[in-house]
Structure 1
Amino acid sequence: MNNEEYVFAPDDFVLAGNDHDAFIDDTYFKQSYWKDMLSRFTKNKGAVVGLFVIFLIILMAIIGPGLNEYTYDFQTISHQNLAPRIELLEPLGIFDGSETMSTSTGMVEINKYVSEDGSLTGLEDTYYWFGTDVLGRDIFTRTWEGTRISLYIALVAVAVDMLFGMSYGLISGYFGGRVDMVMQRISEIINGIPTLVMVTLLIIVMKPGLGTITLALAIRGWIGMSRIARAQVLKLKEQEFILATKTLGAKDFFIIFKEILPNIFGQLIIMSMFSVPNAIFTEAFLAFVGLGVPQPLASLGSLISDAFKSFTTHPYMIIFPVIVLALIMLSFNLLADGMRDAFDPKMKEM
């Protein structure tokens, strides 16, 4: 046996250090949950486009009505039924104020901004970017005023979902038993009343307007969110971490809003985004059938309803409000779909 004594020099060993990232597989590199969520969201091109369009529409709703000298209720009878005219695009032969109309003698192209015999009409220096309606009101200004109402409805839908529907579903699912039975029967009774009937009854009692529509959405717009929140609570309330929290003496409402809610908040945000297009469509439908905001206020639904009467003769009146409404609903759907995949990729399979 060799009893030779070994002497180690200071440079015989190299410290591994405290860099824990060195032990992480490069394929699954370390990053926070929010960075991972943002990465998944940005990879969804449709969601990014939807978010950009929403920001653009919000910007236009803020500044759009102030981009020209007209107001949403300004009427000039001599300017009625004027086709769209844009100064920058007029030399290209598009949006030059001309429109093609069907008459008894065939298709005729007219331009009310200029006269056929060369006489002055007083409209040579007048520009309406989206044209005018049958009362001579600027459709561009009225469209973005109507967009403000649609965005307000979207905000109301999210607020009702998150403040009332979420709390209602959390409490109902957590306590269960008789409390859950009573709360669910109440929601089923409210949900059984058709929206159109409810709004009609509210209009009989109250004045027609945005407040009536807001109240109608607030009365029953939370039902879907409450059911989703209740289902999520039923899945989580028997988990071990909830049992441990109860063992430590935590109160019921602390468990609901401090333990359960953070674990399902992502799903609730997603579902509230999906409820926005439905709320906007409900307002547009009510306005279309004459139960919306009163004149001269304009929503996208009322603009479409008014322009529908002139669709065969002046189709431009309905095209722009329809495009804006479709973009709002499509963008919110794309955003909600992207948020669903970003918060929890497994939800896509559900």
Structure 2
Amino acid sequence: MSTNRENVPSFEFQPDDFLLAKNRDLGVDQVYPARSYWSDVISAFIKNKGAVIALVAIILIITFAIIGPYMNGYTYNGQIIANQNLAPRIPVLETWGVFDGTEHMSTSTGMTVVNKYVNPNKTTGLESTYYWFGTDVLGRDLFTRTFMGTRISLYIALVAVIVDLCFGMSYGLISGYYGGAVDNVMQRFAEILNGIPTLVIVTLLMLVLKPGLGTITLALAITGWIGMNRIARAQVLKLKEQEFVLASKTLGAGDFYVIFKEILPNIFGQLIIMSMFSIPNAIFTEAFLAFIGLGVPAPLASLGSLISDAFKSFTTHPYMIISPVLVLGAIMLSFNMLADGLRDAFDPKMKEI
């Protein structure tokens, strides 16, 4: 570098100041393959460990609900009075001192350790008998009855999804799309129906219809779609004035084509999420109705009725309530975690709200 007369520095380049590009290790832009929307959703869902664990748990619960009642040779309504109030006993684990049929009972004289599988007063005891979850006050196998009750809870979950997606979704789509007087009448009807407590509806149906699972299903179907209706209506109100909808109308598409072919695919992710969140609520409602005596009639059992029956013997035989409570809690927690994972996968922006 040198300085000229005006004190302005000037630069002189040397031959080794520049190198040819071919002699340098230049970075190359990486081209990523195009991915579809569903590929992004699946990828985001798999990265959510909690949602994946919840999905695996739901699959396991469904598997046990299918094969569980046939795993140990007992039936859900078979009564063996001689085997009543037996604590859980599981092969292999009993050799470790766990689930060996021993029960700690609180009596007036203090804590007593009892194992009814070993009866010294009889020549033949129950040494070869195993009840994995124990038995109830009538000698019925709680393992079989728990997973028979799980079937009812999963059936209620299926009913909730069908009602939401078939009726609540269609109701909200049509109401929001047409707007005006149609929307006003349809939403006022939904609000009046939603104002009636589910317990009142079930009680009235019990007076008219035969008590049972069908009555509970009808009660859930009457009011279970209200939440889905509101979500679907809100989404339609947001999208029905978009350019792609106006373009479809300009090309002569009918109303139902626009609703179910143009708008629905753009909001289906949000509707699936809403239906997943409605499942725990429906299962809890059935369990609550069964707990207060408005559930399925005996000898058929749901998780709610099992909890209700076990609650009566909680102070003397607390093991009876553990299995249905754990299964019911696992079902509700798994569906909630799955819904959270689906929400984050379908709409990552919702995670920031």
Match of 1:302 among 301, 305, 312: 305
| Partner SS for 1:207 | coil
In 2, are the aligned partners of 1:82 and 1:112 still within 8 Å (CA)?
yes
Mapping for residues 133-148 of structure 1, pairs under 5 Å? 133-148=136-151
Match of 2:57 among 33, 53, 71: 53
Q: Which residue of the partner structure matches residue 224 of structure 1? A: 227
Deviation of 1:116 after TM superposition, in Å, equals: 4.5
Q: Which residue of the partner structure matches residue 259 of structure 1? A: 262
Identity, % of aligned positions: 77
Deviation of 1:347 after TM superposition, in Å, equals: 2.1
Q: Which residue of the partner structure matches residue 340 of structure 1? A: 343
Q: Which residue of the partner structure matches residue 349 of structure 1? A: 352
1: CA distance between counterparts of 2:281 and 2:237?
26
| Partner SS for 1:123 | coil
The AA in structure 1 aligned to 2:212 is G
Q: Which residue of the partner structure matches residue 31 of structure 1? A: 35
Deviation of 1:249 after TM superposition, in Å, equals: 0.9
User: Are positions 1:185 and 2:188 aligned together?
Assistant: yes
In 1, are the aligned partners of 2:273 and 2:343 still within 8 Å (CA)?
yes
What do the CA deviations read for 1:109-140 (whole angstroms, capped 9, x no partner)? 000000256x4343111100000000000000
What do the CA deviations read for 1:194-234 (whole angstroms, capped 9, x no partner)? 00000000000011100000000000100000000000000
What do the CA deviations read for 1:159-200 (whole angstroms, capped 9, x no partner)? 000000000000000000000000000000100000000000
What do the CA deviations read for 1:45-95 (whole angstroms, capped 9, x no partner)? 100000000000000000000001110000011100000001111110010
Unaligned runs of 5+ in 2: 1-27
The AA in structure 2 aligned to 1:244 is A
Q: Which residue of the partner structure matches residue 319 of structure 1? A: 322
Q: Which residue of the partner structure matches residue 85 of structure 2? A: 81
Match of 1:100 among 104, 107, 111: 104
Deviation of 1:247 after TM superposition, in Å, equals: 0.8
User: Are positions 1:205 and 2:208 aligned together?
Assistant: yes
| Partner SS for 2:297 | coil
Q: Which residue of the partner structure matches residue 11 of structure 1? A: none
What do the CA deviations read for 1:280-324 (whole angstroms, capped 9, x no partner)? 000000000000000000000000000000011111100000000
User: Are positions 1:153 and 2:156 aligned together?
Assistant: yes
Deviation of 1:25 after TM superposition, in Å, equals: 5.2
In 1, are the aligned partners of 2:231 and 2:271 still within 8 Å (CA)?
yes
Q: Which residue of the partner structure matches residue 114 of structure 1? A: 118
Q: Which residue of the partner structure matches residue 14 of structure 2? A: none
User: Are positions 1:67 and 2:88 aligned together?
Assistant: no
Larger Rg: 2
> RMSD of the TM alignment (CA)?
1.3
**May I ask how many residue pairs the two structures share in their alignment?**
326
The AA in structure 1 aligned to 2:98 is I
2: CA distance between counterparts of 1:228 and 1:24?
43
1: CA distance between counterparts of 2:60 and 2:213?
24
| Partner SS for 2:140 | coil
1: CA distance between counterparts of 2:290 and 2:265?
38
1: CA distance between counterparts of 2:346 and 2:123?
62
After TM superposition, the score normalised by the length of structure 2 is 0.90
Deviation of 1:31 after TM superposition, in Å, equals: 2.0
In 2, are the aligned partners of 1:114 and 1:120 still within 8 Å (CA)?
no
| Partner SS for 1:120 | coil
Match of 2:198 among 175, 195, 198: 195
| Partner SS for 1:261 | helix
The AA in structure 1 aligned to 2:100 is D
| Partner SS for 2:241 | coil
In 2, are the aligned partners of 1:113 and 1:123 still within 8 Å (CA)?
yes
The AA in structure 2 aligned to 1:226 is N
